[in-house]
Structure 1
């Protein structure tokens, strides 16, 4: 340890547009403070939000995906053909999760939209590529446009339309693509997470969505100890989409991690639920994901701040930051 230096707390975001790192750092901190108060540790709130408890950084890599001419991006805001198979697989996994919540035989309006999206995905698989350049991408945008008819997605207010939704979901594919410029993109994103970290100081990492995939690979590269790694709304256990593309393989808990807490919401359609603890092997020290469910209010539950407001999520983070 170096003197009495504060522990380090790093937030790692998921898919989305360009971010204001300081504004989001404050948003995540406020949500975490709400959860800490709910966990019965109100005396820690000021120390957390004022920066006395930990040095808090929001690891922002959004510009690498969203800037004009960003690495590995297709021109004109179009889907890159090399991303289409991963995006198709990701949408299929989301539709499967949605169909569990709204079974086809329920006869609801939501169930009909989900079945429509499934039929559209089947068309992409069967003959989309035979229809000419760009047709598969257009059909995938039709799927995301259909899914945005669901209240939980539409009222999330994150996407102006199916094209924007598809482009942001395709960030998962762009990160996991290991070829050419895409390999450089992944390395640059992991560098954003690791930059400035001091391996002689305690570290807590809180990652969300695609950020859990980024953190998984970054922590395998990190040389210092990680007191706690928290994953929120993680797609790590989506077998055919994410799990089989992780590096290193076979998937295992990063060796420096002292504890790994994974949280999922039953209504979060992006998350691979309890399977994560079974499909990612423990580290050599025997550390593996400890998975627990949370229940958020509202229609769109796939946001980091909703997860952080839960006592069971925030409590262990605060405890890990204490001297």
Structure 2
């Protein structure tokens, strides 16, 4: 029912495209199995990508505290959203443009969740003229090698990503059980200036709501706004 409410066509394992969509679902499966006992994991690393294997991944993810609420079709749509952003230049450009429209001279803090943190990072890198912004990333997949990190613009060099010029402070908040934020600490790849903060969101490890209402997130935003007030 979820995909119908959102106006999305129903999708299943046979609709999953080879490449990035498959890799994302299998990566989420492995991460969820490692974090939650209720999620059955693959018996061995999967070499053969087939609809049956993808179906097993979707079935296993349905046992995950986070993915259970999505349903099979929305899980496929989530993987497709990521794939389209990284492989379709027109989609990427349109998303970046929408983000840029919302940043004004009065913007002080950017809070970005999940794929939104990728959009925010790339947009901030693309606009060095923006100044003195605080970035707070929540449940971010930015550090996931091959699937996300190595597809970023600007591309990382020597295993290190570029620091976005407009960002004066960056707090990254991640739940240990978040299967999307596979790499919990971004500082090793994005710069030691990042403050990596662990958080416990309960059963819904990747949901935006517990991230946004977490005390750690509020503290990061409040700190940025207080510093802005004192500098005026």
| Residue 114 (structure 1) aligned with residue 76 (structure 2) | no
CA contact (8 A) 2:169 2:193 kept: yes
1:150 to 2:72 alignment: no
SS in 2 for 1:84: coil
Runs (4+) of structure 1 moved beyond 6 Å?
16-19, 78-82
| Alpha-carbon separation, structure 2, partners of 1:183 and 1:293 | 33
Q: TM-score, normalised by structure 1?
A: 0.60
| Residue equivalent to 2:211 | 307
Unaligned residue ranges in structure 1 (runs of 5+): 1-15, 20-65, 69-74, 103-107, 129-135
Question: RMSD in angstroms over aligned alpha carbons?
Answer: 3.0
Higher relative contact order, chain-length normalized (CA < 8 Å, sep 6+): 1
Asked if 1:289 corresponds to 2:190, the answer is no
Q: Is the 8 A contact 1:144 1:163 kept in 2?
A: no
Cα distance between partner residues in 1 of 2:14 and 2:196: 34
Q: 2:83 aligns with which of 173, 191, 195?
A: 173
CA contact (8 A) 1:148 1:162 kept: yes
User: For residue 106 of structure 2, what is the aligned residue in structure 1?
Assistant: 201
Which residue does the alignment assign to 1:245? 151
| 2-structure distance, mates of 1:67, 1:217 | 28
2:89 counterpart residue number = 183
Change (3 A) 1:216 1:174: same
Aligned counterpart, 1:262: 172
CA distance in 1, matches of 2:78, 2:140: 16
**Shift in CA distance, 247/18, structure 1 to aligned 2, threshold 3 Å:** farther
Residues 256/306 of structure 1: CA separation in 2 closer, same or farther (3 Å cut)? same
Higher gyration radius (CA): 1
Task: Give the CA deviation at 1:320.
Answer: 1.8
1:146-182 Cα offsets, whole Å, 9 max, x none, are 310334432xx2x2x31331122221111111xxxx1
**Residues 235 and 196 from structure 1, CA distance in 2 versus in 1: closer, same or farther, beyond 3 angstroms?**
closer
Q: Secondary structure at the match of 1:149?
A: coil
The superposition leaves residues 273-297 of structure 1 with CA deviations (integer Å, 9 ceiling, x where unpaired) of: 34421122x3xxxx73221101122
Q: How far apart are 1:17 and its partner, in Å? A: 6.8
State the shift of 1:98 in Å.
Answer: 2.6
Give the Cα–Cα distance (whole angstroms) in 1 for the partners of residues 56 and 72 of structure 2.
Answer: 7
Contact 1:83-1:174 within 8 A present in 2 as well: no
> Contact between 1:78 and 1:167, CA under 8 Å: does it hold in 2?
no
5+ residue gaps in structure 2? none
Q: How many pairs were matched up?
A: 221
Q: How far is the alpha carbon of 1:91 from its aligned partner?
A: 2.4
